[in-house]
């Protein structure tokens, strides 16, 4: 059994999730691959696996219960957070992980190939690239953990949206001013997240076109 298996299981249960043993093992394989590749490619500033478990795995898992159904796009996925973590836990969901960083996308493509994952692809492109917008089409859910600015994330998401798409933005503190600026166009549900062993505020903002 993996060193962190029980810790991940308990952490996910604390988030109200009942993940299968298979899903937990896949998540730990992903973390192991991230640790290994990180030595050469600097995929994430977090190096300690125990810290990764909390700040990457559990943090990404914290949105799973509240995430709407459907085809998902993860913009600025970096090393795959939260997109890869969602894909591993929900094999029935089609996920596209998008980033302009070649090293990070190479890592994700290799991991997808090694595990023969069928529901997820990684694409190296800039989010505003028109060819990518045309090729990838529209998504039911668009997520990101990477954008500093909520308004920038919403602008980046718009070309990939249909009328009932939902933007799922992971945030620390609630960006009250930006939410207020968007309220003429979007309704916003704010969900407070409690990530086990993380002493920082976390929120999920679900935005839908009015």
- CATH no. for residue 196? 3.40.50.150
Residue 88, burial from CB neighbour count under 10 angstroms (0-12, 13-18, 19+): buried
Q: Which residues are annotated as a binding site?
A: 76, 81, 127-128, 145
Partners of 206 in the beta sheet?
A: 168, 189
pLDDT of res. 146:
84
Residues of the chain with pLDDT under 70: none
- Its pTM stands at 0.96
Say what the pLDDT of residue 43 is: 84
Count: domains in the chain: 1
Burial (Cβ within 10 Å: 0-12, 13-18, ≥19) of residue 116: exposed
According to the model, what pLDDT value does residue 41 have? 87
Strands 95-99 and 120-124: parallel
Q: Please state, in angstroms and rounded to a whole number, the distance separating the CA atoms of residues 64 and 49.
A: 21
> What pLDDT sits at residue 35?
94
Letter string b/e over residues 118-142, b meaning 16 or more CB atoms within 10 A of that residue's CB: eebbbbbeebeeeebeeebeebbbb
DSSP strand pairing (186-193 vs 95-99): unpaired
pLDDT of residue 209: 97
Structural domain harbouring 33: 4-209
**Binding site listing for S-adenosyl-L-methionine:** 76, 81, 127-128, 145
207 pairs with which residues across the strands? 167, 188
pLDDT for 148: 86
């Amino acid at each position: 059994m993996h060193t962190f298996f029980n810790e991940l299981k308990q952490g996910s249960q604390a988030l109200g999730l009942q993940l299968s043993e298979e899903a937990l093992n896949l998540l730990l394989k992903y973390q192991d691959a991230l640790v290994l590749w990180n030595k050469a490619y600097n995929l994430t500033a977090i190096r300690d696996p125990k810290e990764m478990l909390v700040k990457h795995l559990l943090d990404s898992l914290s949105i799973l219960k509240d995430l709407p159904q459907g085809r998902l796009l993860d913009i600025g996925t970096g090393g795959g957070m939260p997109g890869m973590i969602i894909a591993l836990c929900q094999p029935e969901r089609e996920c596209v992980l998008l980033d302009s960083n070649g090293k990070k996308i190479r890592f994700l493509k290799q991991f997808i190939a090694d595990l023969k994952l069928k529901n997820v692809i990684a694409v190296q492109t800039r989010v505003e690239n028109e060819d990518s917008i045309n090729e990838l089409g529209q998504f039911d859910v668009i997520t990101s953990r990477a954008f500093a600015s909520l308004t920038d994330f919403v602008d980046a998401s718009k070309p990939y949206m249909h009328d009932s798409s939902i933007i799922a933005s992971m945030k620390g503190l609630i960006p009250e001013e930006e939410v207020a600026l968007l309220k003429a166009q979007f309704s916003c549900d704010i969900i407070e997240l409690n990530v086990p062993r993380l002493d920082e505020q976390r929120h999920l903002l679900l935005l839908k076109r009015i």
